[in-house]
Structure 1
Amino acid sequence: MAQGPGVRRHLCGIWTAWSEAASPDAAVGEVARAINTPSLSQVVAFFSADYDPEILAAALEARFPGVPVAGCSMSGGIAPSGGLDRGLVVIAFPAERFRIVSTVLAAIDQLDVERTASSVRALRRTLDPPGACREAEAPAAGGRFALSLIDGLANAEETVVSAIAWALDGIPIVGGSAGDDLRFRDAVLLHGGRIHRKAAVLVLVETDWPFEIFKSDNFEPTQTKFVVTASDSERRTVHELNAEPAAREYAMAIGLDPEGLSPMSFAAYPLAVKVGGEYFCRSIRRVNPDGSLSFFCAIDEGVVLTLAEPRDIVTSTRAELTRLDTALGGVDLIIGFECVLRRLDAESRQVGHGIADLYRRYNVVGFETFGEQYRAMHLNQTFTGIAIGKGLNARDGAGDAPAAP
């Protein structure tokens, strides 16, 4: 695990900094002192659920005056030096070659899709050139990407990301669901110097640096199937699988007693749903006293769930990061969103160090989530992100920006 504060300036000019200080004031102070530039367009912060979020928000406003700040609580951080069980991770975008706008979407548990889409379209238009009055005159979507941060306890990610993706009209979106370790009590969002709950934050970025969004998972379907025969999709609770109590049916399939089910079990034996010929994970959050199962995604009655088994997580992750490195002519930085259950599975299989080595090699910075967003979908037990390449630096002849110790 990472020890102490750290900072890195990447070739594209983005600064990443991190701290494991016990108090939010101290953590923000360490990070702010490390980021040595007066010209920033946006700060994105991921922070420990142990921190008082109001104190953190005030400290960030004071230390980064005049700079927009957005962020969320996390279930663990990812820094270029390794993982953090607790602390603060900050991504500071430079003003040069990064035009960034953001907004907060409130009351997502009672989402008005039309109003949300209208807000997102308005945000998108603020990046259009002066005088542009037609969508065709706006810059190509290839120069823009969006980051979504969504309350992971509001049970609304599917609706939110679908509405955002619709309004973005081709601009790629990735993101993660705010968490609080595995307490399931309070996930918070940060925007405009204020703390928000049951909300989502959307950060829209325009840059001429090359980039690519991606997703990576490490499971494959088995022949074991479950039909959801009773569920409450709004509460993401499945009461019956194959007309039997859900926890008992699932436990029998994986060879465990229902009393022995735990987050480690759910990470090791994920369930998946087939959409458009491809399988997507639908992770279990917890077993309830009545024998039902709560999920990180909405599950409707009649859905067929497939028991999946993990592949080698290090091999699959390495393959995807290598592909990105080749496609971009070298990866400078990856802003990543990794499911907390994926991390638990890697640790239980004693391969967490292999993942950490890969993340260090490719400068991955981000947080452990309660769910991941990729394009118009909400996913589980996946690693999603945006990889920024070194191509522009190679074209314009700029020198290698030194990494701070």
Structure 2
Amino acid sequence: MRPESRTRARMHASGMLTAWSDAGSAEAVVAEFARQIDPSRYGQLLVFFAPSFDAEALAQALAATFPGLPVAGCSTAGEITPDGIASDTVVALALPHGGFRVATDIISELGGLTVENGAAVARRLRAALERRCGDRAAAPGHRFALVFIDGMSYREEMCVSTIAMALDDIPVVGGSAGDGLRFGVTSQLHGGRVHRQAAVIVLVDTDHPVEVFHTDNFSPTGRKLVVTRCDPERRIVHELNAEPAAAEYAAAVGVAPEELTPVLFASHPVVVRVGGSHYCRSIQRVNPDGSLSFFCAIDDGVVLTIARPRDLVAAAEAELARLDRALGGLDLVIGFDCVLRRLDAARRRVRPRIEDLYRRHQVVGFFTYGEQFGGMHLNQTFSGVAIGRPRPAG
């Protein structure tokens, strides 16, 4: 028997409102949200939902219940609510008219994305935000862009780099939409409709101080793997060090090939060195032919380094504490956490500590198939935008 459903809401000092529900259907969830959200007070709704909910029904119910209130969001690989980590939940974040100016758009059909048409959408969106701001001058540290990209599109790198280039000085952060652990079809919400193979962009100008961030919890070792045969379009590596990929990776981390699982990949990530820093290139799964599918772009000749995990909780806690100091107190953090970090936290039995940390620092968001930061598509990071508490006038 399904436990009794819960719907809760929390008002933040900035006027933002978070609502979350595990009511049994999309229609039931939206009916519960209608009791919590006064649409006359808000100018934008962000919605992150488990793939167990019917995306079409959710989009229709939101459009019917909140006519005139723009909705943007996506499906997830798990949700982050003010109560903690959740599954089979819908999370809504309402941005108020006061203190926030928002513009949204969508890049559809990512399979046909070019630098030119992606940049055109981003520039058009920036112009829309400038119109909403009127005579208000853009202030450093008060703008950000959120991107929700289809996590099965294989187009995240090109999409986010194009958006970041076109938006110039507006910092970009986001998460790749998920489909639980099925890695099948993800959904994006925009304009009252469900989209697939798409990227939703949300530009925000706010009175409150903000900072985008990303953090990880791994350090490179001396063990190297060179990609010697791959299919870059599908992100599949067939050979590492001229040996079958899964077997060679398994040998490098000291396990048998049949022991390779998403949990083990989370515990033994591989990284690449870019510009003096290391970034994760997470493995998604082992294929029947012994090849490996990746979450990020991969190509022949890429040198992968086996990484050693550090304390996941301590790394996240240090970053959130830094943000709290930098912004004079956190009002809310819109967070994008890699699904592999969730699996790793469960394996290491630190999930309760992560949940407590996220509750204390007001983290709301979802688990992803990849994270975006600046012009990069990343894996196995905790990324997001921290929004500071309102500062006294004068």
TM-score range (shorter-chain normalised) is over 0.9
Distance 1:235 1:156 in 2: 10
Residue 263 of structure 2 aligns with which residue? 264
Where does the alignment leave 5 or more consecutive residues of structure 1 unmatched?
398-405
- 8 Å contact from structure 2 (residues 370, 380) kept in 1: yes
Residue 77 of structure 2 aligns with which residue? 75
Residue 369 of structure 1 aligns with which residue? 368
Which one of 106, 109, 119 corresponds to residue 108 of structure 2? 106
Correspondences of 1:321-340 after superposition (within 5 Å): 321-340=320-339
Offset of 1:47 from its aligned partner?
0.6
Residue 353 of structure 1 aligns with which residue? 352
Residue 16 of structure 1 aligns with which residue? 18
Residue 282 of structure 1 aligns with which residue? 281
Distance 2:326 2:186 in 1: 35
Residue 168 of structure 1 aligns with which residue? 167
Offset of 1:34 from its aligned partner?
1.7
Residue 401 of structure 1 aligns with which residue? none
- 8 Å contact from structure 2 (residues 101, 133) kept in 1: no
Offset of 1:51 from its aligned partner?
1.1
Distance 1:352 1:258 in 2: 27
Distance 2:343 2:259 in 1: 16
Q: Given residue 198 of structure 1, which amino acid in structure 2 is its aligned partner?
A: Q
Correspondences of 1:2-401 after superposition (within 5 Å): 4-36=6-38, 38-129=40-131, 139-140=138-139, 142-390=141-389, 393-396=390-393
Offset of 1:6 from its aligned partner?
1.2
Q: Given residue 297 of structure 1, which amino acid in structure 2 is its aligned partner?
A: C
TM, length-normalised to structure 2? 0.96
Q: Given residue 196 of structure 1, which amino acid in structure 2 is its aligned partner?
A: H
Q: Deviations over 1:42-81 (max 9, x none)?
A: 0010011011111000111122121100110001100111
Q: Given residue 102 of structure 2, which amino acid in structure 1 is its aligned partner?
A: I
Offset of 1:131 from its aligned partner?
11
- 8 Å contact from structure 2 (residues 48, 79) kept in 1: yes
- 8 Å contact from structure 1 (residues 75, 179) kept in 2: yes
**RMSD between superposed Cα atoms in Å:** 1.8
Offset of 1:170 from its aligned partner?
1.5
- 8 Å contact from structure 2 (residues 39, 66) kept in 1: no
Say how many residue pairs are matched.
Answer: 392
- 8 Å contact from structure 1 (residues 108, 198) kept in 2: yes
Q: Given residue 108 of structure 1, which amino acid in structure 2 is its aligned partner?
A: L
- 8 Å contact from structure 1 (residues 28, 88) kept in 2: no
SS of structure 2 residue aligned to 1:126: helix
- 8 Å contact from structure 2 (residues 106, 121) kept in 1: no
- 8 Å contact from structure 2 (residues 141, 211) kept in 1: no
TM, length-normalised to structure 1? 0.94
Distance 1:122 1:98 in 2: 19
* Sequence identity percentage: 56
- 8 Å contact from structure 2 (residues 330, 387) kept in 1: yes
Offset of 1:396 from its aligned partner?
2.9
- 8 Å contact from structure 2 (residues 5, 23) kept in 1: no
SS of structure 2 residue aligned to 1:228: strand
Distance 1:88 1:329 in 2: 30
Q: Deviations over 1:212-263 (max 9, x none)?
A: 0000111111110111111111101111111111100000111111112111
Q: Given residue 48 of structure 1, which amino acid in structure 2 is its aligned partner?
A: A
SS of structure 1 residue aligned to 2:129: coil
- 8 Å contact from structure 1 (residues 2, 83) kept in 2: no
Distance 1:313 1:4 in 2: 29
Distance 2:4 2:75 in 1: 18
Distance 2:347 2:249 in 1: 20
SS of structure 2 residue aligned to 1:142: coil
- 8 Å contact from structure 1 (residues 22, 87) kept in 2: no
- 8 Å contact from structure 2 (residues 39, 69) kept in 1: no
Relative distance call for 1:326 and 1:301 in structure 2 (3 A) is same
Distance 1:129 1:174 in 2: 22
- 8 Å contact from structure 1 (residues 229, 242) kept in 2: yes
- 8 Å contact from structure 2 (residues 143, 210) kept in 1: no
Distance 2:134 2:328 in 1: 33
Distance 1:142 1:223 in 2: 38
- 8 Å contact from structure 1 (residues 40, 92) kept in 2: yes
SS of structure 1 residue aligned to 2:57: helix
Offset of 1:38 from its aligned partner?
2.1
Relative distance call for 1:131 and 1:108 in structure 2 (3 A) is closer
Distance 2:145 2:322 in 1: 22
Relative distance call for 1:366 and 1:130 in structure 2 (3 A) is closer
